[in-house]
Amino acid sequence: MTEKGTDEPSAVDEYLVVLTDDVREELQRVRSIILKKLPECRERIAYKIIVFSLKKDLVGIASQKNHCSFYTMSPNLVKEMEEELRDYRVSGATLHFTPREPLPESLIVKIVEERARELHG
Protein backbone atom coordinates (compact mmCIF):
# COMPACT_ATOMS: atom_id res chain seq x y z
CA MET A 1 0.00 0.00 0.00
CA THR A 2 1.37 3.42 -0.88
CA GLU A 3 1.10 6.60 1.10
CA LYS A 4 -0.55 9.53 -0.66
CA GLY A 5 2.09 12.13 0.20
CA THR A 6 1.92 15.89 0.29
CA ASP A 7 2.83 18.67 -2.10
CA GLU A 8 2.94 21.33 0.60
CA PRO A 9 6.22 23.26 0.21
CA SER A 10 6.85 23.16 3.95
CA ALA A 11 6.54 19.35 4.13
CA VAL A 12 10.15 18.71 3.07
CA ASP A 13 11.46 21.23 5.60
CA GLU A 14 9.28 19.64 8.29
CA TYR A 15 10.75 16.24 7.38
CA LEU A 16 14.30 17.58 7.71
CA VAL A 17 13.88 19.65 10.88
CA VAL A 18 13.38 16.64 13.17
CA LEU A 19 16.58 14.87 12.07
CA THR A 20 19.91 15.02 13.89
CA ASP A 21 22.12 17.90 12.73
CA ASP A 22 24.57 15.73 10.79
CA VAL A 23 21.86 13.79 8.94
CA ARG A 24 19.84 16.93 8.22
CA GLU A 25 22.91 18.70 6.85
CA GLU A 26 23.82 15.74 4.65
CA LEU A 27 20.32 15.33 3.23
CA GLN A 28 20.14 19.09 2.70
CA ARG A 29 23.45 18.89 0.79
CA VAL A 30 22.07 16.18 -1.49
CA ARG A 31 18.80 18.12 -1.88
CA SER A 32 20.72 21.24 -2.89
CA ILE A 33 22.77 19.32 -5.47
CA ILE A 34 19.61 17.90 -7.05
CA LEU A 35 17.82 21.25 -7.13
CA LYS A 36 20.90 23.05 -8.46
CA LYS A 37 21.19 20.55 -11.31
CA LEU A 38 17.46 20.50 -12.08
CA PRO A 39 15.86 23.62 -10.56
CA GLU A 40 12.56 22.77 -12.26
CA CYS A 41 12.21 19.67 -10.05
CA ARG A 42 9.21 19.54 -7.78
CA GLU A 43 9.84 18.09 -4.34
CA ARG A 44 7.33 16.48 -2.02
CA ILE A 45 6.98 13.89 0.69
CA ALA A 46 5.68 10.56 -0.60
CA TYR A 47 6.16 7.02 0.70
CA LYS A 48 7.73 8.67 3.80
CA ILE A 49 10.68 9.96 1.77
CA ILE A 50 11.58 13.18 -0.06
CA VAL A 51 10.76 12.65 -3.73
CA PHE A 52 11.98 14.85 -6.57
CA SER A 53 10.02 14.76 -9.80
CA LEU A 54 9.92 16.15 -13.31
CA LYS A 55 6.33 15.19 -14.14
CA LYS A 56 7.40 11.66 -13.09
CA ASP A 57 9.32 10.60 -9.98
CA LEU A 58 13.02 11.10 -10.61
CA VAL A 59 14.92 10.26 -7.39
CA GLY A 60 14.33 10.30 -3.65
CA ILE A 61 16.24 10.72 -0.40
CA ALA A 62 15.51 9.68 3.14
CA SER A 63 16.86 9.16 6.60
CA GLN A 64 16.82 5.62 7.93
CA LYS A 65 17.72 4.35 11.38
CA ASN A 66 21.40 3.66 10.61
CA HIS A 67 22.00 5.42 7.30
CA CYS A 68 20.64 7.74 4.63
CA SER A 69 19.20 6.48 1.37
CA PHE A 70 19.38 7.81 -2.17
CA TYR A 71 16.61 6.20 -4.22
CA THR A 72 17.57 6.08 -7.90
CA MET A 73 14.15 4.62 -8.69
CA SER A 74 15.79 2.75 -11.54
CA PRO A 75 17.07 -0.81 -11.19
CA ASN A 76 18.26 -0.58 -14.82
CA LEU A 77 20.40 2.48 -14.09
CA VAL A 78 21.99 0.82 -11.07
CA LYS A 79 22.75 -2.23 -13.17
CA GLU A 80 24.28 -0.05 -15.91
CA MET A 81 26.40 1.78 -13.29
CA GLU A 82 27.36 -1.42 -11.44
CA GLU A 83 31.10 -0.93 -11.90
CA GLU A 84 30.94 2.72 -10.87
CA LEU A 85 28.88 1.84 -7.77
CA ARG A 86 31.05 -1.07 -6.61
CA ASP A 87 32.47 0.92 -3.68
CA TYR A 88 29.04 1.93 -2.36
CA ARG A 89 26.41 0.08 -0.38
CA VAL A 90 23.61 -0.67 -2.82
CA SER A 91 20.33 -2.45 -2.19
CA GLY A 92 18.16 -2.87 -5.26
CA ALA A 93 17.93 0.60 -6.81
CA THR A 94 18.94 2.40 -3.59
CA LEU A 95 22.33 3.67 -2.46
CA HIS A 96 23.04 3.85 1.27
CA PHE A 97 25.37 6.43 2.77
CA THR A 98 26.07 8.33 5.98
CA PRO A 99 27.18 11.86 6.81
CA ARG A 100 30.63 10.37 7.51
CA GLU A 101 30.63 8.54 4.16
CA PRO A 102 28.69 10.88 1.86
CA LEU A 103 27.96 10.29 -1.79
CA PRO A 104 30.16 12.49 -3.99
CA GLU A 105 28.46 15.36 -5.76
CA SER A 106 29.64 14.06 -9.14
CA LEU A 107 27.86 10.73 -8.55
CA ILE A 108 24.63 12.42 -7.46
CA VAL A 109 24.70 14.68 -10.54
CA LYS A 110 25.37 11.75 -12.87
CA ILE A 111 22.47 9.73 -11.45
CA VAL A 112 20.09 12.71 -11.64
CA GLU A 113 21.13 13.44 -15.24
CA GLU A 114 20.76 9.80 -16.27
CA ARG A 115 17.36 9.54 -14.59
CA ALA A 116 16.16 12.69 -16.37
CA ARG A 117 17.29 11.19 -19.69
CA GLU A 118 15.67 7.87 -18.82
CA LEU A 119 12.34 9.54 -18.10
CA HIS A 120 12.28 12.18 -20.80
CA GLY A 121 14.59 10.95 -23.52
pLDDT in tens, 93-118: 999 999 999 999 999 999 999 999 99
**For residues 102 and 47, what is the distance between their CA atoms, to the nearest angstrom?**
23
- Considering the domain 9-120, what is its CATH architecture? Alpha-Beta Complex (3.90)
Give the model's pLDDT for residue 90.
Answer: 97
Give mean pLDDT, residues 22-46: 96
- Please report, as a single letter, which amino acid is at residue 86: R
Spell out the domain ranges in the chain.
Answer: 9-120
Helix (H, G, I), strand (E, B) or coil at 117: helix
Per-residue pLDDT at 5 exceeds 70: no
Asked whether the predicted pLDDT for residue 10 surpasses 80, the reply is no
Segment 13-18 shows an average pLDDT of 94
pLDDT of residue 8: 58
The pLDDT score that the predictor gives to residue 65 is 93
The H-assigned helical ranges of 1-121 are: 9-17, 21-37, 75-80, 105-120
pLDDT, one tens digit per residue, over 47-90 is 899 999 999 999 999 999 999 999 999 999 999 999 999 999 99
What whole-number distance in Å separates Cα of residue 32 and Cα of residue 121? 24
Q: Indicate the pTM of the whole model.
A: 0.91
In this model, does residue 2 exceed pLDDT 50? Answer: no
